[in-house]
Amino acid sequence: MAQMNAADQAKLQMMQDMEIEMMSDLYNRMTQACHKKCIPPKYGESELGKGEAVCLDRCVAKYLDIHERIGKKLTAMSMQDEDLLKKMNG
C-alpha cells in the first residue's frame, strides 16, 4: 500500500477533525431541540415519563433522518458541480 505524504496526512486529519466537529454540533443542537420539545421546563419527576421518552425517540430519529437526507443531497449536488466543472474544463 502506498505511503501517504505529509500533505495528504494533514488533509485527512483536517477532514477527520471537521467531521468530529460537525457531529458534535449535530449532537448538541439535536439535544437542545429535542429537550426543548419533549421535556417540560419544570421537572415533575427525576425519571423520564413514557410520553417524554417516546417524544425523545421520535425527535432524535427525525433529526438524524433529516441530517442523513441533507448529507446525501449535498453530496449529490457536489458531484454534479464536479461533473460540470470537468465538462467546462475538458
**pLDDT single digits (tens) 2-11:** 577 888 888 8
Whole-structure pTM value: 0.68
For position 62, which CATH number holds?
1.10.287.810
Q: Which helix (H) or strand (E) holds 16?
A: helix 6-38
19 in any annotated domain:
yes
pLDDT at 1 over 60: no
Can you give the length of the chain in residues? 90
31 in any annotated domain:
yes
1 in any annotated domain:
no
Q: Within 13 Å, how many C-alpha atoms sit on residue 63's CB side?
A: 19
What cell was used for 79? 458531484
At 15-73, the pLDDT tens digits run: 899 989 988 999 999 999 999 999 999 888 889 999 999 999 999 999 999 999 998 99
Q: What is the pLDDT of residue 35?
A: 95
DSSP code, position 41 = S
